[in-house]
Chain A
Amino acid sequence: EPEVTQTPSHQVTQMGQEVILRCVPISNHLYFYWYRQILGQKVEFLVSFYNNEISEKSEIFDDQFSVERPDGSNFTLKIRSTKLEDSAMYFCASSVDRTSYEQYFGPGTRLTVT
């Protein structure tokens, strides 16, 4: 069964460093998402992406964050200058298209900022 994959599974970085989290969405899906989950808390929406443009973003997704689809398979989330409070699980998700509401999540990348 097709699934969303994410790399790395765990990333440790120092405060102020840039990190790039990578995702490979399900191959025939056209909508891509990033969510984050701070330890023990709920899953929070960051951004959705379609046709090489941001479709929707939350208040969390400020100028420190950016997303990109650098090629036909990868979808990335970049955090320019990490802060301690960016420590969280970051989940990538994908859906077939906008009319298909079902979003399928990857296993996540645990980001630890020290």
Chain B
Amino acid sequence: QQQVKQSPQSLIVQKGGISIINCAYENTAFDYFPWYQQFPGKGPALLIAIRPDVSEKKEGRFTISFNKSAKQFSLHIMDSQPGDSATYFCAARSAGGTALIFGKGTTLSVSS
């Protein structure tokens, strides 16, 4: 129940294309859903996050879509660029908890 399932494991997208990464959860106590971007040898960097009271949040080329009834959320990267090539992790945190529960990550490669 504490798991966050992330797919796909890897993704190759053409420059200018849309990258879509999906996550699903079971624990209905989760109330915060961030996405982190990680480059090799670096720590995870907070990219964008959403609370379950909204269905979508957009920041620049990055959009989170959230479906509370399906217990799914996804990251969309519009106009993907080679500089977006990284590993992306979704995560979730319970109301009242402090721990971020991470998905297994998606390695995105954007080809030029």
In the complex, per-residue mask of B33-76: 1 if CB is within 8 Å of any chain A CB, else 0: 01010000111111001000000000000000000000000000
Task: Name the residue of chain B whose CB is nearest to the CB of A105.
Answer: B43
Q: Determine the distance from Cα of A101 to Cα of B93 in the docked complex, in whole angstroms.
A: 8
Q: Which residues of B contact A68 (CB under 8 A)?
A: none
B99 adjacent to A42 (CB under 8 Å): no
List residues 87-110 of chain B with CB under 8 A from any CB of chain A.
Answer: 89, 91, 93, 97-105
Shortest Cβ distance from residue B2 to the other chain A in the assembled complex, whole angstroms: 10
Q: Which residues of A contact B46 (CB under 8 A)?
A: 102-105
Q: Which residues of B contact A103 (CB under 8 A)?
A: 34, 46, 100
Task: Name the residue of chain A whose CB is nearest to the CB of B105.
Answer: A42
Task: Name the residue of chain B whose CB is nearest to the CB of A110.
Answer: B41
Interface Cβ pair total, 8 Å cutoff: 55
A42 adjacent to B89 (CB under 8 Å): yes
B99 adjacent to A45 (CB under 8 Å): yes
A58 adjacent to B42 (CB under 8 Å): no
Choose among B42, B45, B102 the residue that contacts A42 (Cβ–Cβ < 8 A).
B102
Q: Which residues of A contact B104 (CB under 8 A)?
A: 41-42
Closest 3 CB pairs of A and B: A105-B43, A48-B98, A45-B99
Known: A42-B104, A107-B42. 19 other contacts (CB 8 A): A4-B43, A31-B98, A42-B89, A42-B103, A43-B102, A45-B99, A45-B100, A45-B101, A45-B102, A56-B97, A91-B43, A101-B32, A101-B34, A102-B34, A103-B34, A105-B36, A106-B43, A107-B43, A108-B42
